A and B are shown apart, each in its own frame.
Chain A
Amino acid sequence: MAEVKLFRTWSSPFALRIVWALEVKGIEYEMIYEDLSNKSSMLLQYNPVYKKVPVLLHKGKPISESFVILEYIEETWKSKTPSLLPEDPYQRAMARFWAKFGDDKISPLIWEAFIKQGKDQEEALVAAHENLKYLEVELRGKKFLGGDAVGFADLAFGWLANLVSVFEEVTGVTLIDHEKFPLLLTWMQNFMDAPKIRDTWPPRDKLITKFRDLRETLMAKEPK
């Protein structure tokens, strides 16, 4: 009977953050896969407010929202290295800042660039690049946002390493180019190859199919 359970889907980037945290720290856990079109009564019971994944269940107590879960993991398994957050309060604030920035700014803009076409797509890309510049600067002199090892902010942005190439293949558009974002692309590769992380990637062909279908559906709904 596992003390730690993680409710996830096969592809959710938010749930993957938790998979990465647990794997990187070597915490034993049981995975419970959800079908979001047919949510289990357990999921609805454990996350009644949002009814989403990920949900971490520890000793029967549920925690939702990926960043909240990451902080919980960090605080509960203090002795398990690597630490996801640095010791210094200012560095911790910076890690949290970049993580939040990713979800507030980068994620919605990359998504816009993915689902739109033509001029709308161009505009979304320009805005995405404006914001990605900050990340490019942050990576100067560092292998990971967390320094030598993967940290909180890396886990927050990990979805880029996973999904950007999928989005690029589906749209036929380069979203993050080597000229403007050499450090970011290197980071994406380093993250993908990091031990414990590299075995967690959802199957690429399945992702391509999923996002191709999703894009078609969303584009069909767009007013002409």
Chain B
Amino acid sequence: MANTSSTHDVKVLGAWPSPFVIRARIALNIKSVEYEFLAETPGSKSQLLLQSNPVHKKIPVLIHRGKPIAESLIIVQYIDEVWSSGPSILPSDPYDRAIARFWAAYVDDKFFPSMSLIKSEQGEKKAALVKQVTEGLVLLEEAFQKSSKGKAFFGGDRIGYLDVAFGSMLGWLRATEKMGEVKLLDEAKTPGLVQWAESFCADGAVKGLIPETEKLVEFAKLLAARMKGRGSS
């Protein structure tokens, strides 16, 4: 849980709308690690961010004992390895770990990029993106059925790596559905995921981190206006 006063051993540089930042925070929550959340101001990058992640200049950055780690999934694995006495985030079996990593990479490489474009596209382009995303969700449904083995989460009884990697996207998934006026997560096609989404968002380590749909929609509009304001020079 975020603690802005005493614990400075662990800091997260981030912003509330970012699903990648959410991953780092959920992972720390799973391990019950107290941390300081340093919120970046939208539209600008702090000195600390530029210093801690000079290569990408992006959030999240985890700073542990003064040393910065960037890239959300790398951060999650780091957290799992450092706080090894806490509940495991990655599965224990190497093959299960490989499957979890594969799908997490799929979320980042295929799913998220397509999904993010939906809200700003129309017509044929939009339809193609929606098709890609809904097909992707069907693949993830299959992965869920195999991985959960009848339990509530990809990780089984408790949330794990793939739950964190994919679940962090749920805020934007719902916001995209609203802004794009499309249904992506469908009871009929992906019943397991619909149930999983509810369980995930209600989980103790996740509660309060997935932003409300309305807030994300507002944020997206603000961002679009800011982009327009900058013009295409």
- A residues at B contact (CB < 8 Å): 49, 58, 61, 63-65, 67-69, 71-72, 75-76, 89-90, 92-93, 96-97, 100-101, 105, 131, 134
- Give min CB distance, B116 to chain A, whole Å: 16
Identify which of B18-26, B92-100, B224-232 touches chain A.
B92-100
Query: Are the CB atoms of A93 and B74 closer together than 8 Å?
Result: yes
* CB-based contact B77/A96 at 8 Å: yes
Instruction: Give the distance to chain A from B69, nearest Cβ to Cβ, in Å.
Output: 5
Q: Are B70 and A72 in contact (CB under 8 A)?
A: no
* Residues on the B chain within 8 Å of A96, using CB: 71, 74, 77
Q: CB distance A49 to B98 under 8 Å? A: no
Contact A90 B78 (CB under 8 A): yes
B-side interface mostly: helix
Instruction: For chain B, residues 69 to 100, give those with C-beta under 8 angstroms from any C-beta of chain A.
Output: 69-71, 74-75, 77-78, 81-82, 94-95, 97-98
With both beta carbons as reference points, the residue of chain B lying nearest to A77 in the complex is identified as B94
8 Å CB contact of A71 from B69, B78, B81, B98: B98
Q: Does B67 contact A (CB under 8 A)?
A: yes
Q: A49-B106, A100-B71, A134-B55 are in contact. Are A93 and B98 (CB under 8 A)?
A: no
| Smallest CB separation, B52 vs chain A (Å) | 12
Q: Assess the B98–A97 pair: CB atoms within 8 A.
A: no
Q: Does B105 make an interface contact (CB < 8 A)?
A: yes
With CB as the reference atom, state the residue of chain B lying closest to A64.
Answer: B102
Known A68-B101, A96-B74, A101-B55: A61·B67 in contact at CB below 8 Å: no
For residue B102, which residues in chain A have a CB less than 8 angstroms away from its CB? 63-65, 68
Nearest 5 Cβ contacts at the A-B interface: A89-B81, A75-B94, A72-B98, A93-B78, A68-B101
Which B residues touch A105, using CB under 8 A?
Answer: 55
Interface size on B, residues (CB 8 A): 21
Q: Of A67, A76, A93, A101, which is within 8 A of B94 by CB? A: A76
Contacts of B139 in A (CB 8 A): 49
B101 CB contact (under 8 Å) in A71, A76, A131: A71
| Complex partner residue of A61 from B75, B95, B101, CB under 8 angstroms | B95
Residues of A within 8 A of B77 (CB): 92-93, 96
Q: Mark B51-75, 1 if CB is under 8 A from A, else 0.
A: 0000100000000100101110011
- In the bound complex, CA of A188 to CA of B98 (Å): 29
Residues of A within 8 A of B78 (CB): 89-90, 92-93
Measured CB to CB, the nearest residue on chain A to B83 is A89
CA distance A54 to B67 in the complex (A): 34
